Structure 1
Amino acid sequence: MTRIVLFENIHPSALEVFEAAGLTDVTTYASALPPNQLREALEGVELLGIRSRTHLDETVLSSASSLRAVGCFCIGTNQVDLETAMLRGIPVFNAPFSNTRSVAELVLGETILLLRRIPEKNDRVHHGHWDKTAEGAYEARGKTLGIVGYGNIGSQVGILAEAAGMRVVFHDLEAKLPLGNARPCTSLKQLLEQSDVVTLHVPGGRATENIINAKTLSYMKKGAILINASRGTVVDIDALHDALQMSHLSGAAIDVFPSEPKGRDEPLQSPLIGMRNVILTPHIGGSTQESQENIGREVAEKLVRFALSGTTKGAVNFPEVPYQDAAGATRILHVHRNEPGAMGALSSLMARHGLNIVRQQLQTKGPVGYVISDVEGEVNEAVMQALRQDPITIRCDQIAST
Structure 2
Amino acid sequence: MTRALLLENPHAIADSILTDSGIDVIRVKGALDENELIDALDGVDFLGIRSKTNVTARVLKARPHLQAIGAFCIGTNQIDLAATQAHGITVFNAPYSNTRSVVELAIGEIIDLTRRVTVKNSRMHRGIWDKSAEGSHEVRGHTLGIIGYGNIGTQLSVLAEAMGLNVIFYDAAERLALGNATQMPTMESVLREADIISIHVDGQPTNLNIIGEREFHMMKPGALFINLSRGFVVDVDALHKALVSGHLGGAAIDVFPEEPKKNGDPFESPLVKLDNVILTPHIGGSTEEAQYDIGRFVSAKLADFNHSGSTDMSVNMPNLQLPISADSRYRIRLIHKNTPGVLATINHTFADAGANIGGQILSTSGPTGYVLTDISSELPTEAIDKIRQMKDTIRLTVTPL
TM > 0.5 fold call: yes
Aligned to 2:295: 296
Is this contact kept in 2: 1:200–1:227, CA < 8 A?
Answer: yes
- The one-character-per-residue Cα deviations of 1:225-264 (angstroms, maximum 9, x if unpaired) are 0000000111111111111122111000111111112233
Within 1, Cα distance between the matches of 2:31 and 2:240? 32
Within 2, Cα distance between the matches of 1:67 and 1:293? 25
Aligned to 1:321: 320
Aligned to 1:344: 344
Matches for 1:269-280 after TM superposition, within 5 Å: 269-280=268-279
- The one-character-per-residue Cα deviations of 1:16-41 (angstroms, maximum 9, x if unpaired) are 22234x32422222223343342232
Q: Secondary structure at the match of 1:31?
A: coil
Q: CA deviation at 1:222?
A: 1.0
Q: Secondary structure at the match of 1:3?
A: strand
Residue 136 of structure 1 aligns with an amino acid whose one-letter code is: G
Q: Secondary structure at the match of 2:14?
A: helix
TM-score by length of 1: 0.95
> Runs ≥4 in structure 1, deviation > 6 angstroms?
none
Q: CA deviation at 1:387?
A: 2.2
Is this contact kept in 2: 1:43–1:65, CA < 8 A?
Answer: no
Is this contact kept in 1: 2:197–2:224, CA < 8 A?
Answer: yes
Is this contact kept in 1: 2:336–2:368, CA < 8 A?
Answer: yes
Is this contact kept in 2: 1:6–1:27, CA < 8 A?
Answer: yes
Inter-CA distance 32–215: structure 2 relative to 1 (3 Å threshold): closer
Residue 242 of structure 2 aligns with an amino acid whose one-letter code is: A
- The one-character-per-residue Cα deviations of 1:109-134 (angstroms, maximum 9, x if unpaired) are 01100001111111111112211111
Q: CA deviation at 1:380?
A: 5.4
Aligned to 1:387: 387
Aligned to 1:163: 162
Aligned to 1:228: 227
Aligned to 1:131: 130
Within 2, Cα distance between the matches of 1:267 and 1:18? 34
Q: Secondary structure at the match of 1:311?
A: coil
Paired residues, number: 400
Inter-CA distance 24–343: structure 2 relative to 1 (3 Å threshold): closer
Within 2, Cα distance between the matches of 1:202 and 1:239? 19
Q: Secondary structure at the match of 2:198?
A: strand
Within 2, Cα distance between the matches of 1:337 and 1:82? 15
Is this contact kept in 1: 2:33–2:54, CA < 8 A?
Answer: no
Matched, 1:77 2:76: yes
Inter-CA distance 183–26: structure 2 relative to 1 (3 Å threshold): same
Aligned to 1:7: 7
Q: CA deviation at 1:323?
A: 4.5
Is this contact kept in 1: 2:5–2:27, CA < 8 A?
Answer: yes
Aligned to 2:360: 360
- The one-character-per-residue Cα deviations of 1:154-183 (angstroms, maximum 9, x if unpaired) are 111112212222111111112222222222
Inter-CA distance 218–7: structure 2 relative to 1 (3 Å threshold): same
Matches for 1:236-315 after TM superposition, within 5 Å: 236-315=235-314
Within 2, Cα distance between the matches of 1:323 and 1:235? 43
Is this contact kept in 2: 1:241–1:272, CA < 8 A?
Answer: yes
Q: CA deviation at 1:319?
A: 1.4
Within 2, Cα distance between the matches of 1:260 and 1:33? 13
Matches for 1:205-216 after TM superposition, within 5 Å: 205-216=204-215
Q: Which runs of 5+ in 1 are unaligned?
A: none
Q: CA deviation at 1:272?
A: 1.3
Residue 387 of structure 2 aligns with an amino acid whose one-letter code is: L
Q: Secondary structure at the match of 1:350?
A: helix
Within 2, Cα distance between the matches of 1:33 and 1:271? 26
Aligned to 1:118: 117
Matched, 1:201 2:203: no
Aligned to 1:182: 181
Within 2, Cα distance between the matches of 1:342 and 1:184? 45
Inter-CA distance 336–111: structure 2 relative to 1 (3 Å threshold): same
Q: CA deviation at 1:393?
A: 0.7
Between the two proteins, what is the percent identity of the paired residues? 48
Inter-CA distance 163–323: structure 2 relative to 1 (3 Å threshold): farther
Q: Is the deviation greater in 32-41 or in 189-198?
A: 32-41
- The one-character-per-residue Cα deviations of 1:51-95 (angstroms, maximum 9, x if unpaired) are 122221112112223211110011111221111111111110000
Q: Secondary structure at the match of 2:110?
A: helix
Q: Is the deviation greater in 336-345 or in 258-267?
A: 258-267
Q: Secondary structure at the match of 1:25?
A: strand
Residue 378 of structure 2 aligns with an amino acid whose one-letter code is: E
Residue 26 of structure 1 aligns with an amino acid whose one-letter code is: V
Inter-CA distance 2–291: structure 2 relative to 1 (3 Å threshold): same
Q: Secondary structure at the match of 2:278?
A: strand
Q: Is the deviation greater in 299-308 or in 340-349?
A: 340-349
Is this contact kept in 2: 1:201–1:230, CA < 8 A?
Answer: yes
Is this contact kept in 2: 1:161–1:168, CA < 8 A?
Answer: yes
Residue 229 of structure 1 aligns with an amino acid whose one-letter code is: L
Inter-CA distance 41–303: structure 2 relative to 1 (3 Å threshold): same
Inter-CA distance 37–116: structure 2 relative to 1 (3 Å threshold): same
Is this contact kept in 1: 2:30–2:262, CA < 8 A?
Answer: no
Within 1, Cα distance between the matches of 2:198 and 2:226? 5
Q: CA deviation at 1:400?
A: 2.3
Within 1, Cα distance between the matches of 2:157 and 2:44? 42
Q: Secondary structure at the match of 1:316?
A: coil
Within 2, Cα distance between the matches of 1:233 and 1:98? 23
Q: Secondary structure at the match of 2:250?
A: strand
Q: CA deviation at 1:330?
A: 1.8
